[in-house]
Structure 1
Amino acid sequence: MSQEIAVIGSPEFTTGFRLAGVRKFQNVPDDEKDEQLDDAVTETLSDDGVGIVIMHDDDLDHLSRGIRSDVETSVEPVVVTLGGGTGGGALREQIKRAIGIDLMEEDENNE
């Protein structure tokens, strides 16, 4: 069974991914994130058909402590956060956690 990408966030955030062909998404309007984001994340993380979950970094602030911990430690599916000025280091750590190796390590040694 192939796994899909899912995106969670405001309709403005998810639209671009949907236009790019992402079929699994959870729209959570900005004014409802405190009430609905935990449920959307829990449902998506428990979906066996999802391999990667994409969220906006700022949305992590709307999650309860337990769900945020689940997001930060999830390996399958891996959760990738975008935006919010996290820089390449955070994405690098997410990739390293997901696949178990640091893909950038060799490049740094050659510089």
Structure 2
Amino acid sequence: MSKEIAVIGSGDFTTGFRLAGVRKFANVSADPDQVEMDEAVTELLEDDDVGIVVMHEPDLDHLSREVRERVETSVDPVLVTLGGGAGSGGLREQIKRAIGIDLMEEE
């Protein structure tokens, strides 16, 4: 069974992904409150059909401590953040967590 990509964020953030074919998404307001963001993230983390959840990095600030800890330790699905200046080190760690190995590992 193949897993799907899901995206969480404002309508502006999710639109591009939806146009690219992502079918699972959760639109939240442009400045979401903690409850709204927690519910959207929890719903997609508990969806067995989702393998990757994409989220705008600044939206992590709107999560409660419990949900944020769950997001940071989740392997299936893995949460990938975009934007916010995370840099290649952050993306590298997300990929490493998702697949279990460091592709950029030096010999």
Alignment of 1:1-111 (within 5 A): 1-106=1-106, 109=107
Larger Cα Rg: Structure 1 or Structure 2? Answer: 1
The structural deviation recorded for 1:35 is 3.0
**Whose helix fraction is larger, Structure 1's or Structure 2's?**
1
Larger mean CA deviation between 68-77 and 31-40 belongs to 31-40
In 1, Cα distance between the equivalents of 2:33 and 2:83?
Answer: 17
* 3-state SS of paired residue (2:103): coil
Report the Cα distance in structure 2 between the residues aligned to 1:103 and 1:17, rounded to whole angstroms.
Answer: 26
Whether the 8 Å contact between 2:32 and 2:62 is mirrored in structure 1 is no
Any runs of at least 4 consecutive aligned residues in structure 1 with deviations exceeding 4 A, and if so which? none
What is the root-mean-square deviation in Å for CA atoms of aligned residues? 1.0
The CA deviation string for residues 61-110 of structure 1, in whole angstroms up to 9 with x for no partner, is: 0000000001111000010000000001001001111111100114xx5x
TM-score in terms of structure 2 length: 0.95
Q: Runs of 5+ in structure 1 lacking a partner? A: none
- SS of the residue 1:105 aligns to: coil
5+ unaligned residues in a row in structure 2: which ranges? none
Q: Give TM-score scaled by structure 1 length.
A: 0.92
Q: How far did 1:20 drift?
A: 0.3
- Tell me which amino acid in the other structure corresponds to 2:32: E
Look up the equivalent residue of 1:86 and give its one-letter code.
Answer: A
Residues in 2 aligned to 1:100 and 1:32: alpha-carbon distance in whole angstroms: 32
Distance 1:51 1:94 in 2: 13
Give the length in aligned residue pairs.
Answer: 107
Partners of 1:19 and 1:40 in 2: CA distance: 20
